[in-house]
Amino acid sequence: MTSFKKTNFNNAPERSPFRGLKNRWWIGLAAVIIVVAGALVLFGRGGHKAPRAGQTGTSAMAGVPVVAAPVTKGDFSVYLSGLGSVTPLNTVTLKTHVDGELTKVLFREGQVVSKGEILAEIDPRPFQVQLTQAEGALARDQAQLENARLDQARYQELVRKNYIAKQQLDTQDALVRQYEGAVKADQGQIDSAKLQLTYCRITAPFSGRIGLRQVDPGNIVHASDATGLAVITQIQPISVIFSLPEDSLSQILAKLRSGARLTVEAYDRDQKQKLATGTLLTVDNQIDPNTGTVKLKAEFPNKNVELFPNQFVNARLIIEVKHDAVIVPSPAIQRGPQGTFVYVVKADQTAGIRPVTLGMSQEGNALITSGLSAGELVVADGADRLKDGSKVEVKVPNNGAPAPAPPRQGK
């Protein structure tokens, strides 16, 4: 049998059952003291701020910060927007009508030229030689014609006296007509040579801006060359071709039939900067079945060359201008179960709900047909935190303009 050795625990030191409990109590007390002290320090730094002048000590009395905008009265444009491209009214590739050596280039690349201005010259000497030859042939044939006519007159007299046969006179008549034809052919050769000499001087067919030169002086140019000498485009005036949905066509045609001149504005790619203002020229004669749009063409004076050929623009066709319209910023319009409304800032710095009738909204502005008057203040930013009668504090807008003042009592 296994024997067990007895251990004597009588000599071991006795531990108090409350000793661990006391240690835990002191540790917990110290932690509570530290937490309370930290809270007092934090509260002393950030919690007790001196109230500003004119500000109540309770947060319940502070107004909700909002951005307000005044209700204005002015012209409100109703327009249709479409994507467009700047297209010259006239574009031509300058080519030569005759073959020869290009001796002079009289234009600068990018130059604005006038109609009829000489732009280049081709060596005219070969055509001057042709002109001289044609003039010589004309002189020869004219002399032969004159002699044939004299013989014709003699033969007519001899036939009347029956000295010669009638056949000889008929032969002379045919010879006269033959020389008359030769004279006409010679005159045609002279006119052709003069025309070739005219073609040696290449002129601008219309006023416009000339592009990059494609051929240098000294090269032999041909009428069949595909590239030509340069390209000239008319930029004053210039046109813009843009597309609009087919649903707008009836409204546009009704305005055109009434004789109205519709204004078209061209904006940049971001639709922030207006580039130019023109008028609508015409509407295309068919609708594109693939896109459901119709093309329109507008003309712009382009006096300061704001528009450039093949430039992308956003076109706005102004259908109607409503005068003395009540206008508010579009963000001020709120929508609820009862319809559209705005928050109006009152003289006592509170916001009240005002039902309004919305006409249309364009370009960040909304047309109000009823419910507001010019000069009132409406909340344009921060309306999501308001309710009827909320205290508000009007802040400065992001554009740096001073905050508008609410109307005075009694007004």
Report the distance separating Cα 239 and Cα 299, nearest Å.
4
Domain-embedded: residue 182: yes
Report the distance separating Cα 134 and Cα 193, nearest Å.
8
Domain-embedded: residue 140: yes
Q: Pairing mode, if any, of strands 390-394 and 64-70?
A: parallel
What is the pTM assigned to this prediction?
A: 0.64
Query: Which tokens go with 79?
Result: 């327009």
Domain-embedded: residue 118: no
User: Cβ contacts of residue 28 below 8 Å, gap of 6+?
Assistant: none
Q: Which domain holds residue 334?
A: 64-75+324-394
Q: What CATH number corresponds to the domain at position 352?
A: 2.40.420.20
What residues are paired with 241 via a beta bridge? 85, 297
Domain-embedded: residue 13: no
pLDDT tens per residue across all 411 residues of the chain: 344 444 444 444 444 444 454 556 566 666 667 765 665 545 444 444 444 444 444 444 578 898 988 999 888 888 899 999 999 999 999 999 999 999 999 999 999 999 999 999 999 999 999 999 999 999 999 999 999 999 999 999 999 988 889 999 999 999 999 999 999 999 999 999 999 999 999 999 999 999 999 999 999 999 999 889 999 999 999 999 999 999 989 989 998 998 889 999 999 988 889 999 999 999 999 999 999 999 999 999 999 999 999 999 999 999 888 888 899 998 988 988 888 999 999 888 888 899 998 888 877 888 888 888 888 899 988 888 888 888 988 886 655 555 565 555 444
User: Cβ contacts of residue 219 below 8 Å, gap of 6+?
Assistant: 101, 102
The Cα-based distances of 141 to 137, 175, 181 in angstroms read 6, 12, 9
| Final residue belonging to a domain, choices 148, 175, 199 | 199
- Residue in 239, 306, 311 with CA at minimum distance from that of residue 273: 306
Angle at the Cα of 150 from the Cα atoms of 146 and 156, rounded to 5 degrees: 140
Buried b (16+ CB within 10 A) or exposed e, 2-38: eeeeeeeeeeeeeeeeeeeeeeeeeeeeeeeeeeeee
Contact 406, 80 (CB under 8 A): no
Q: What CATH number corresponds to the domain at position 194?
A: 1.10.287
Q: What's the domain count of the chain?
A: 2
Q: In what order do the strands lie in the sheet with 91-94?
A: 91-94, 230-233, 208-210, 112-113
Domain-embedded: residue 313: no
| Final residue belonging to a domain, choices 199, 228, 255 | 199
| Final residue belonging to a domain, choices 140, 166, 199 | 199
User: Cβ contacts of residue 225 below 8 Å, gap of 6+?
Assistant: 95, 96, 215
Judgement on whether residues 387 and 329 belong to the same structural domain of the protein: yes
Domain-embedded: residue 167: yes
- Residue in 361, 319, 365 with CA at minimum distance from that of residue 78: 319
Domain-embedded: residue 99: no
Preceding omega of 237 cis (within 30 degrees of 0):
yes
Domain-embedded: residue 47: no
Contact 227, 215 (CB under 8 A): yes
Judgement on whether residues 71 and 137 belong to the same structural domain of the protein: no
